[in-house]
Amino acid sequence: MRCLVKSRAEAGLWMETAPVPEIGPDEVLIRVNKTGICGTDIHIWNWDDWARKTVPVPLITGHEFAGEIVELGRNVTGLEIGQRCSGEGHLIKHSSRQSRAGKFHLDPETRGIGVNEQGAFAEYLRLPAFNVVTLPDEIDDEIGAILDPLGNAVHTALSFDLVGEDVLITGAGPIGIMAAAVARHVGARHVVITDVNQDRLDLAARVVDVVPVNVAQQDLREVEAGLKMSEGFDVGLEMSGNQTALDQMIDTLVMGGRIAMLGIPPGKSPVDWSRIVFKAITIKGVYGREIFETWYKMIAMLENGLDVSKVITHRFAARDFAQGFAAMQSGSSGKVVLDWRA
Ligand code: NAD
Ligand code: ZN
């Protein structure tokens, strides 16, 4: 099969051929139809410090996928050959206290496909049956291929009650934009999204009814005043990993405000803890998706009017992956989807 491999400890990815994976008794084989390129894949392409420390070479990359079940391990029940599916890319074990408590997304032994284990940028993917999430007809392969990052957005956005609340999202990357769509869908009052990249803000405004704010040019406090938010935002969703954005969020939140933090700051960054204490702010770190509550909720929302399709801005055949990665590297794209059947 064709697959996109980190085969050398240097920048780049290479399209190679490898045997179709053999599945174990509790696994399924999935024929991959479409995949999404993630910021993580860009780190792996660039071979930055994080990637060097984390990713074994050689490794088939990629973790955002949709496809079809083509083979079932002998212990697998409840799934059928021919079913369309996506799946959770975090592989967990069942021995930790958190797993045994049913909090699978908090398992400290989590390993990621396309990061620690063979991934989904391939014609076929081997996955534990436990991780498979079947797709209803209403969700096409393109959306199926971006359920992983949509799940990040959903997990973060549903961390706190947003109904009737004023929500600030810092970072209009694909995940921030999808979080804005989720906040709107569940009934937030005002949803403001910030970025310093105008292309991204323009994209946000095309995808969802939000107030885009370019914080390189506009004063967020003036925007707040214009929206008649006397005391500030109730909930902040941090989706940029940028220190200035987090500072601004803490600044513009109400007393007792809540922050769900998905963005990953590069290294240690200074925080003004006294402001967090005196404003009585709650901060929740968010990792991955709740397994499988986030999946149930996002599929239900997609079946009930949540529309994130316009966040996909580029589509390429898998053989043209380099163009897809270039679009991602430009920093102005939304989601980029690769077609493995083209
Ligand atoms: P992205 O890099 O595409 O988007 C981040 C955006 O933040 C960019 O558009 C950038 O211009 C913007 N930004 C930079 N400085 C800013 C500022 N001062 N104010 C406002 N915005 C600013 O990222 P993404 O793929 O949308 O992911 C969002 C974040 O979530 C990233 O930090 C990513 O690493 C992280 N992430 C975390 C998890 C997790 O499990 N915790 C999973 C996926 C992604
Ligand atoms: Zn991803």
Residue-wise pLDDT tens digits, 153-197: 999 999 999 999 999 999 999 999 999 999 999 999 999 999 999
Cα separation, 232 vs 168, whole angstroms: 9
Between CA 165 and CA 173, with CA 168 as vertex, the angle to 5 degrees is: 135
Domains (ranges, CATH) in the chain? Answer: 2-146+308-339 (3.90.180.10), 153-285 (3.40.50.720)
Ligand 2 midpoint to CA 162 (Å): 24
Are 174 and 335 in contact by the 8 Å Cβ rule? The answer is yes
Give me 36's structure tokens.
Answer: 């999404």
What are 289-320's pLDDT values in tens digits? 999 999 999 999 999 999 999 999 999 999 99
Ligand 1 lining (C-beta closer than 6 Å): 39, 152, 170-176, 194-197, 200, 215, 239-242, 244-245, 262-264, 286-288
pTM of the model: 0.97
Give me 121's structure tokens.
Answer: 């940028």
Cα separation, 147 vs 65, whole angstroms: 8
User: So which residues are the catalytic ones?
Assistant: 40, 43
Are 153 and 49 in contact by the 8 Å Cβ rule? The answer is no
Query: Is the ipTM reported for this complex over the cut 0.90?
Result: yes
